Amino acid sequence: MPEKIAETAETSERLTTAAAPDTVLIAEAGPAPSGKPRSLWSDAWRDLRRSPLFIVSSVLILVLVVMAAWPGLFTSASPRDGDLVNHYLQKPQWGHFFSPDWFGYDIQGRSIYARVIHGARASITVGISVTVIVTLLGGALGMMAGYFGGWVDSLLSRLTDIFFGIPFLLGAMVVLTSFERRAVWTVILALSFLGWTSIARVARGAVITVKQADYVVAARALGASTSRIMIRHIMPNALAPVIVVATIALGGYIGAEATLSFLGIGLAEPTVSWGIDVSDGFAQIRNAPYVLIIPSVMVSITVLAFLMFGDAVRNALDPKMR
C-alpha cells in the first residue's frame, strides 16, 4: 500500500511538472488584446488597398474623371472647329504627344485628340448619373419590397418583372425616338427608366436576408420605428451587394450610351461624344481607320476600367471571394 501511494505521488509530480511550461506560456501570453472590432467596410478597404486590380482601375477612372471635368488641362484645341483645307483626314502624328495632331483629324478637319478629350464628359456624365438614379430608385423599391413583404412585395415584384422583360437597348431606343431633341439629360432619363430593375432585385434579396437577423428583431421588439430600422439597421448591412452591382453596371451604361449614339438615336451634334465619333468614323473605315479606332479604344478603356473597379469591389465585399 505505501508503495502504491508513493507511485501515485510520483506520477502526480511528473504531470504537474509537464504541465508547468504550458501554464507559463499561457501566463506569458497575457490577455487577448482588446480593441474595436473590424467591420466589413474596414476589411474591404484593407483588401482594396492591396489589390492591383483596384489600384490600376482607380488610376484610370481618376484620369477619366479629371479629363471630363477639366478638359482644358489636356488640350487647348477646340473639338468643334474644323479646317477642311489643311487638316482633311490628316494622319496621326504619333510623335507629337498631347498636341492637336497627335491622333490626326477627321473628315471635317477636326482634331481627334481634342474630341477624345472633350468627349469624355458626356460619357462619364451619363454613366455616373444613370448609376446614381437607378441605385436610389431601385434600392428604395427593393428595400420596401423586401422589408414589408405581402402585397407590397407582390406588387413591386410584378412591376419589376414587367420592366425587366423589356429589352434594355430596344426600350431605350423607343423612349429616345419620342424626343425631338436628344441631349445628355434625355439619354440619362431613358437609360434610368429601364435600368433600375437589377438593383431592385438585388436590394430586395439583401433586405430579406438582413431583416431576419437578431439585431433587427431586437430593435423591432424594443419599439423602434420602421424608418429607423430601415435606415439604421437594414440599409447599412444590405448596401454591399447593391454597391457591387452598381459599380459593375456603370461601365455598361457608358457602353449603352456609346451604342445608342453610334446608331444615331442617342446623343447628337453639337454634343461631343465618343459614340458620335465612332458613327462618323465608320464611313471612313477603309480610307482612315484611325478615325473609328481611336474613339472606340477610349470607350473600351473606360468600360474596362469601371468593370475592373467593380470586380475589385466585389472581391473585397463578398466574404466568399476571399
Model confidence pLDDT, tens digit, residues 155-176: 999 999 999 888 888 899 988 8
Give pLDDT tens digits for 16-68.
444 334 333 333 344 444 455 566 677 778 888 888 989 999 999 999 999 99
Q: H or E segment at 280?
A: helix 274-282
Look up residue 99 and give its DSSP letter. Answer: S
**pTM for the structure as a whole:** 0.81
pLDDT of residue 300: 93
pLDDT of residue 36: 56
pLDDT of residue 154: 92
pLDDT of residue 7: 44
Q: Rounded to whole angstroms, what are the CA distances from 291 to 5, 75, 102, 116, 234? A: 100, 18, 12, 11, 50
Mean pLDDT, residues 137-142? 93
Cα(158)–Cα(241) distance, integer angstroms: 22
Residue matched to cell numbers 482644358 = 72
* CATH number of the 40-321 domain: 1.10.3720.10
